[in-house]
Amino acid sequence: MFIDPQAAQRLDWAKGDGLLPAVIQDADTLRVLMLGYMDEGALAMTCDSGKVTFFSRSKQRLWMKGESSENYLDVVRIEVDCDNDTLLVLARPQGPTCHRGTTSCFATAPGNFLAELDALVARRKAEMPEGSYTSKLFNKGTRHIAQKVGEEGVETALAAVAQGPEELAGEAADLLFHLTVLLRERGLGLADVEALLKARHADPGLLHD
């Protein structure tokens, strides 16, 4: 079940003449992808199929996003706003969301770049394209990647005490990239680290302050 049953029962379908706006957000990068509308049938089909389905106001029928392009939106969960008249759908896109071939229908929609980088590193590991530096790192294995993380950590520390802010930022960027690769090499992602930090934040006994 992608939506809390009690929240679903509270939905105010009458306010929008049977339609609710549905904001689609990338579950990993948090970038807003598009806005559509759902009626009760579209919401039911979305929950049953696991793929975002809208009620098309122009076609006057249910329309599964990706039914022609195969750029489906795989549902992760659905949230309901405080007025029970708007849906927030967290989903993972299978390709571009916009009909123009772009990631989002909103050209400058902000997102979480580190999550995008993590997803790119995961794709590199799955596809291992030739000529990719990331692929070369994966080919050399855990020990080599761990060594690179250690080297970048030392360089970051040295930059902090002996160089300027620009150099420190550059070394920190190198460290974050190689750490992301190491996590993926071991079957983890940045989201796993984020979840652990959130758990520590929620438990005062685990905080490092």
How many domains does the chain fold into?
Answer: 2
φ and ψ of 170, to 5 deg: -65, -45
Name, in order, each residue with C-beta under 8 angstroms of 65's C-beta and a sequence gap of 6 or more: 24, 34, 36, 51, 52, 53, 54, 71, 72, 73, 97
59 pLDDT above the threshold of 70: yes
pLDDT value of residue 208? 58
Which one of 43-47, 99-103, 111-115 scores highest in mean pLDDT?
A: 43-47
CA distance 192 to 190: 5
Q: Are residues 89 and 120 in the same domain?
A: no
3-class SS of residue 163: coil
6: alpha, beta or left, given left = phi > 0 and alpha = psi -120 to 50? alpha
Sign for the CA dihedral angle at 101, 34, 190, 174 comes to positive
Q: Are residues 119 and 191 in the same domain?
A: yes
Cβ contact 93:69 at 8 Å: no
pLDDT value of residue 111? 83
Cβ contact 85:16 at 8 Å: yes
E-assigned strand segments in 57-201: 61-64, 73-80, 87-93
Residue 196 lies in a domain: yes
Residues 160-209 have pLDDT tens digits of 999 999 999 999 999 999 999 999 999 999 989 998 998 988 876 666 55
For residues 9-25, average pLDDT: 96
pLDDT value of residue 148? 98
Instruction: Provide the percentage of residues in the chain whose pLDDT is more than 90.
Output: 86
CA distance 107 to 26: 14
Q: Are residues 84 and 120 in the same domain?
A: no
Residue 81 lies in a domain: yes
3-class SS of residue 25: strand
CATH number for the domain harbouring residue 64: 3.10.20.810
Domain around 72: 5-93
